[in-house]
Amino acid sequence: MLRLRCKARSGSHPLPGLTAHSRLRDMQAALAALTGVPVSAQRLLLGFPPRSLDLSDGERRLGELGIHSGDTLIVEEDTSKAKTDSPVVAKRTMSNSVREAVPVLARRVVPADNSCLFTSVYYVVEGGVYDPGCAPEMRSLIAQIVASDPESYCEAVLGKTNREYCDWIRREETWGGAIEVSILSKFYQCEICVVDTQTVRIDRFGEDAGYTKRVLLIYDGIHYDPLERKIPDSDIPPQTIFSTSDDIVLAQALELADEARRKRQFTDVNHFTLRCMVCQKGLTGQVEAREHAKQTGHTNFGEV
């Protein structure tokens, strides 16, 4: 990640979430949101003495433009390209428009029906297709893969015999976890990143396999939801498949997890006394939390 700041008439601002591989257009969109200076009217200066950056190709990477950690960008507005409205009104209008156009990473909530993992994985790998009826097919797929390779998927790995596992995973009340994520990562040939809201960490399945695609899920201790990048209040389809070189999306996912942690939207299923935030029932440990979720569909738990 690059440590950058920007200076404009509105003041000095940190410029987070960018890397040397980020595109110029992404940085300009972020600058517009921070400073209110629209992309079309930006003039960017860098270094000392300040030199103008070439903004003609928005696809160029920041590293190619000579932007490094510790740099401060000066953002000036080219008034010849600005609208003829009142400066204050124009600035506010443009700033709001840019903010609305900037894609954000968000959680797409799926039902707590014992198959949230399968629904979430299907949603992201299929590019935003929501199909709550996909779970039986995905359970069967996992069982077939496991049954076809009893050597790799032995009792030491599965915690039960190969045949017992295959019968178990096909049941609609069975919850998926790390083993199933690993299998689906290999099947779909993509890195599956699971963002944990309790520990604010990312477990990356398939990280060393050389995959070019990446999808993301968020996990609160008992429930999975898919993550998608979308433009708020827009009909543009969300983005659920990312490049494995996109480090910005990982930083955004960690920010989401940290926000959820600060709001105590997680479940420590091993050590803490819990309370269902929906019906206020007191619970203790993983078994009670899982059973309560299965019986009621409530998945929002907090520590007591």
- DSSP per residue, 182-216: HHHHHHHTSEEEEEETTTTEEEEETTTTT-SEEEE
The catalytically annotated residue of 223, 225, 276, 292 is 223
**Rounded to an integer, what distance in angstroms lies between the CA atom of residue 239 and that of residue 215?**
10
CATH number of the domain that 96 lies in?
A: 3.10.20.90
Please tell me whether residues 177 and 273 are part of one structural domain: no
Q: CB–CB of 104/36 below 8 Å? A: no
Over the Cα atoms of the chain, what is R_g?
23
State whether 36 and 121 are in the same domain: no
Q: Are 90 and 53 in contact (CB under 8 A)?
A: no
Residues 179 and 31 in one domain: no
For 277, the enclosing helix (H) or strand (E) is none
Give the rounded percent of residues in the chain with a pLDDT score beyond 70. 83
**What is the residue range of 98's domain?**
4-102
8 Å CB contact between 197 and 222: no
User: What CATH number is given to the structural domain containing 159?
Assistant: 3.90.70.80
Same domain, 126 and 255: yes
Q: pTM of this prediction? A: 0.57
- The one catalytic residue among 71, 113, 203, 268: 113
Please indicate, yes or no, whether residues 163 and 208 belong to a single structural domain of this protein. yes
Q: If you average pLDDT over residues 58-78, what whole number do you get?
A: 88
Whose structure tokens read 């690059």?
2
d(CA 202, CA 28): 28
Q: Could you tell me if 65 and 207 lie in one domain? A: no
Contact 238, 228 (CB under 8 A): yes
Does 302 or 84 have the greater pLDDT score?
302
Report which of residues 21 and 237 the model is more confident about: 21
Domain co-membership, 243 together with 183: yes
Catalytic site residue from 116, 134, 166, 276: 116
Which of 82, 102, 122 delimits the end of a domain? Answer: 102
Alpha carbons 177 and 263: distance in angstroms, whole number: 24
Beta pairing class for 273-276 and 282-284: antiparallel
CA distance 94 to 108: 28
The mean predicted confidence, pLDDT, of the chain is 82
Same domain? For 19 and 67 the reply is yes
Same structural domain, 77 and 166 = no
- Residue 125 has which token pair? 């790998």
User: For this structure, is 154 an active site residue?
Assistant: no
Number of structural domains in the chain: 3
Which of 47, 73, 102 represents a domain boundary (last residue)?
Answer: 102
Q: Is residue 86 very low, low, confident or very high in pLDDT (cuts 50, 70, 90)?
A: very low
Query: What token pair was written down for 87?
Result: 């400066």
Decide if pLDDT at 76 tops 50: yes
φ, ψ of residue 233 to 5 degrees: the values are: 55, 40
Give the CA count within 13 Å in the CB-facing half-sphere of 121. Answer: 28
Residues 97 and 10 reside in one and the same domain: yes
Are 148 and 243 in a shared domain? yes
271 is catalytic: no
Pair 7, 44: CB distance under 8 Å: no
Active-site residue 223, yes or no?
A: yes
Average pLDDT score over residue span 117-137: 91
Q: Is 116 a catalytic residue?
A: yes
* Cα distance between residue 233 and residue 235, in whole Å: 7
Q: Which residue type does 125 have?
A: V
Neighbours of 92 (CB within 10 A): 13
Whether 196 and 248 share a structural domain: yes
Q: What is the dihedral of CA 53, 55, 58, 60, to 10 degrees?
A: -40
Tell me: pLDDT of 238 over 80: yes
